[in-house]
Amino acid sequence: MEYLYLWEALTRSLVRSLQAPISESVSNFGFIVAYLIAIKFANTRQLRLSFLCLVACLVVSSSVIYDEINGWQLHLIYSIIYLFAVPLTDKLKTMLALFSMALFNGLMIWDAYNYATTETWLYGNYECITACIHVAIICTGVNWRNLIAKLDDSVSHIRYFITNTSCFLHSGVLLRYNKETENSEKRSQ
């Protein structure tokens, strides 16, 4: 009997994930891509930890647990995930950004508990607010001085390559021109 209940719950979860709105999947994919790009260019501990928090929240929202809990319980889990990450970060800005995500989920707990049947402003703008907070988390997790230094080095290497290439091409054209003039002088004599 227990296996039948588990099978039914797994089937409902699979059906729900297949019927998930495209906008939700695109926004989740957008968050993942943004974090991966940020991690690629500025590989910091804070970004990796924030990315793990996002992945944990996405796993919870697409698992069997999602079907078995209320909205306020879901936001409680999200809040706990981000609160666990706060003391593990090194930078104060990132701590505040992660804490703001946990605090926002705390507001969502209150909203979902008190106004479960009505659509409030917080519920209607949930995706926009979380996107802004994720942007803040990414911006605080990036070491901008190192990123600008890497960008400056890259531009310097490209400039150096172009300068040397143009000098090489220019000298090649001059050598060819000199050989052609010598050959034309020899023919004219």
Pick the closest to residue 34 from 21, 23, 45, 50 (CA basis). Answer: 50
Q: Are residues 99 and 75 in the same domain?
A: yes
Q: Are residues 69 and 119 in the same domain?
A: yes
Q: Are residues 110 and 151 in the same domain?
A: no
How would you write 89-106 as a 3-class SS string?
CCCHHHHHHHHHHHHHHH
Q: Are residues 160 and 123 in the same domain?
A: no
pTM, two decimals, is 0.68
Q: Are residues 111 and 166 in the same domain?
A: no
Q: How far apart are CA 46 and CA 49, in angstroms?
A: 5
Pick the closest to residue 102 from 135, 66, 133, 78 (CA basis). Answer: 78
Residue 53 pLDDT > 70: yes
Q: Which domain holds residue 50?
A: 2-142
Q: Each residue of 137-153: pLDDT tens digit?
A: 999 988 888 878 888 88
Look up residue 189 and give its amino acid: Q
Least confident piece of the model among 14-18, 30-34, 58-62, 75-79: 14-18
Q: Are residues 151 and 113 in the same domain?
A: no
Q: Into how many domains does the chain fold?
A: 2
